[in-house]
Amino acid sequence: MPGSKILRNLNPHVSVDCVVFGFEFGRLNVLLIERNTSFKGKEYHDLKLPGDLVRKDEDLDTAASRVLRELTGLDKIYLKQFAAIGSPVRLKRQARDMEWLRSIGHPEEIVVTIAYYSLINIDQDKAASFLLQPHSRWYMVSEVNDLAFDHIAILQQALEILRADLKSKPIAYELLPPKFTLGQLQQLHEVILGVKLDKRNFRKKVANMPYIMPINEKQIDVSHKPAQYFSFHRKIYEKTKTASFSAC
């Protein structure tokens, strides 16, 4: 069996899967791997999350980084563990998934997977577009309808966490340039939340956020009426958000 030699150093029961979101203006992408397989005389070009078994000599975080690097070329990306998924039937949804596991020498037994997620800015992080391995590519999240195994459920769970993080953490301002327009801020929220937002309501809410402040600068060289630039003030944000009790 071709994979059996490698398999000796792998824990056959534990894998890692990585949901890497790539933000660029106007769209939210996810990094997927094309899996070409033939089953019962038919060719399939399924998509899956980058993932593989964990080695016996590495911890889970190391495994996630290694697997992502090996399968996609993406390196030195901060990956956050967000779930362990271990339903006994998770790999058995489709017969061709199990056939593929057999073909690469992996067991078809229970595999608990530890899921990681990451959010990178494709525009800023040029490495994200150059380093990809063949068969790995960015896909628009809104156009992904089906994935191998239970990966669509894992993607959905990651998306919910990303959306919750957008509401409770200042990640929007890490994706935006230091000075941004309210139009950019709104578009970012629309792309990640997957909904259209009402412009007037949006601006009313921004007006109530003391950590988003106008700066004395407007857009130049634009064909429309130049928009005001704003900036994010982290210290004020942190003070606002920790309106809770802590050691005095």
Q: Which parts of this chain interact with a second copy (CB under 8 A)? A: 11-14, 54, 56-60, 63, 81, 83-88, 109-110, 112, 114, 166-168, 186, 189, 193, 195-198, 201-202, 205, 208-209, 242-248
Of the pair 36, 156, the CB lying nearest a second copy is at 156
In contact, 74 and 133? CB cutoff 8 Å: no
- Give least dist CB 222 to a second copy, A: 24
- Give least dist CB 28 to a second copy, A: 15
Spatial CB neighbours of 70, under 8 Å, sequence gap ≥ 6: 52
Of the pair 128, 212, the CB lying nearest a second copy is at 212
| DSSP H or E stretch at residue 176 | none
Reading the block at residue 73, the tokens are 């070329």
In contact, 119 and 99? CB cutoff 8 Å: no
Reading the block at residue 24, the tokens are 């660029």
Of the pair 63, 71, the CB lying nearest a second copy is at 63
- Give least dist CB 11 to a second copy, A: 6
Spatial CB neighbours of 8, under 8 Å, sequence gap ≥ 6: none
- Tell me how far apart the alpha carbons of residues 245 and 186 are, in angstroms, rounded to a whole number: 32
Of the pair 4, 168, the CB lying nearest a second copy is at 168
* Residue pointed to by tokens 């790995």: 136
Of the pair 92, 137, the CB lying nearest a second copy is at 92
Of the pair 47, 63, the CB lying nearest a second copy is at 63
| DSSP H or E stretch at residue 105 | none
* Residue pointed to by tokens 């990451």: 118
Q: What is the DSSP string of 18-53?
A: EEEEEEETTEEEEEEEEEEEEETTEEEEEEE-SEEE
- Tell me how far apart the alpha carbons of residues 108 and 118 are, in angstroms, rounded to a whole number: 28
DSSP three-state, residue 215 = strand
- Give least dist CB 197 to a second copy, A: 5
- Give least dist CB 191 to a second copy, A: 12
- Give least dist CB 245 to a second copy, A: 5
